[in-house]
């Protein structure tokens, strides 16, 4: 199973500027890649003060609990 994680950035004061959110999951890696590609084409990315583009998405493999 793969978790889809959104990595975002917030320039507001008194907040941790980097935050992550689990936005979905898939059963296999190919499904995770397709999921990310579908999400990323419909969003507008912006540059954080660290020079990285946000939001971006990653996949993380986890063992399925029965």
* Model confidence at 33: pLDDT above 80: yes
Q: In whole angstroms, give the CA distance from residue 64 to residue 55.
A: 27
- Give the pLDDT confidence of 7-21 residue by residue, as tens digits: 987 766 556 667 889
In this prediction, residue 46 carries a pLDDT of: 86
- Give the pLDDT confidence of 35-47 residue by residue, as tens digits: 999 999 989 988 8
Q: In whole angstroms, give the CA distance from residue 8 to residue 57.
A: 9
In this prediction, residue 10 carries a pLDDT of: 72
In this prediction, residue 25 carries a pLDDT of: 93
**pTM for the whole thing?**
0.80
Cis-peptide into 55, omega within 30 deg:
yes
């Amino acid at each position: 199973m793969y978790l889809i994680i959104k990595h975002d950035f917030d320039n507001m004061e008194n907040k941790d500027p980097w935050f992550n959110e689990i936005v979905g999951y898939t059963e296999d890696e190919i499904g995770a890649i397709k999921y990310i590609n579908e999400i990323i084409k419909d969003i507008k990315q912006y540059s954080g003060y660290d020079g990285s583009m946000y939001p971006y998405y990653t996949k993380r493999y986890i063992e399925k609990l029965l």
